Structure 1
Amino acid sequence: MNKELEHSFVEELEKNQNIVHKVCRIYTNNQEAHNDLFQEITIQLWKAYPKFRGDSKFSTWMYRVGLNTAITLYRKRKRSIKTETFDAFQYKIKSEPYDDTEEEQLKLLYKAVHQLNDIEKALVFLYLEDKSYKEISETIGISEVNARVKMNRVKTKLRTILNP
Structure 2
Amino acid sequence: MSNDFYQISIKPYAAIIIKICRAYTNSQEDFEDYYQEVCLQIWRTRNNFRGQSDWSTWVYRLALNVSLTLLKKKKNNPQLFTSEFPQTEDVESSPVFADEALNDLYDAIKRLSDVDRGVVLLYLEEKSYQQIADITGTNPNNIGVRITRIKERLKKLMDGKVN
The alignment's TM-score, normalised by the length of structure 2, stands at 0.80
- Residues 80 and 53 of structure 1: is their aligned pair in 2 closer, same or farther, counting only changes over 3 Å? same
By how many angstroms is 1:100 displaced? 4.8
Among candidates 125, 128, 131, match of residue 129 of structure 1: 125
Q: Find the aligned partners of 2:96 and 2:135 in 1 and give their Cα distance.
A: 26
> Which residue of the partner structure matches residue 114 of structure 2?
118
Aligned length, in residue pairs: 145
Note if contact 1:45-1:62 (Cα within 8 Å) is conserved in structure 2: yes
Question: 4+ residue stretches of structure 1 with deviation over 4 A?
Answer: none
Contact 1:124 1:151 in 2 (8 A): yes
Aligned pair 1:9/2:5, yes or no? yes
Matched, 1:66 2:63: yes
**Using a 3 Å threshold, how does the CA distance of structure 1 residues 53 and 23 change in structure 2: closer, same or farther?**
same
Partner of 2:36: 39
Partner of 2:22: 25
Q: Is the 8 A contact 1:20 1:66 kept in 2?
A: yes
Structure 1 residue matching 2:75: 3-state secondary structure: coil
Between Structure 1 and Structure 2, the one with more helix by share is: 2
Aligned residue identity for 2:153: K
Match of 1:104 in 2: 100
- C-alpha deviation, 1:8, in angstroms: 5.7
* Alignment pair present for 1:52 and 2:83: no
Residue 76 of structure 1, CA deviation: 2.2
Cα deviation, residue 101, structure 1: 4.1
1:32-61 Cα offsets, whole Å, 9 max, x none, are: 111000011111111110111222211111
Q: CA RMSD, aligned part only? A: 2.1
Question: Which 5+ residue runs of structure 2 have no aligned equivalent?
Answer: 79-92
Q: Is the 8 A contact 1:9 1:49 kept in 2?
A: no
For structure 1, the 5+ residue unaligned runs are 82-96
**What do the CA deviations read for 1:8-40 (whole angstroms, capped 9, x no partner)?**
632211222222111111111221111000011
SS of 1:67 mapped into structure 2: helix
Could you report, residue by residue, the CA deviation over 1:56-115 in whole angstroms, capped at 9, with x for unpaired residues? Answer: 21111100000011011102213359xxxxxxxxxxxxxxx8445432211111111111
Distance 1:119 1:40 in 2: 19
State whether residues 113 and 121 of structure 1, in contact with CA within 8 Å, keep that contact through their aligned partners in structure 2: yes
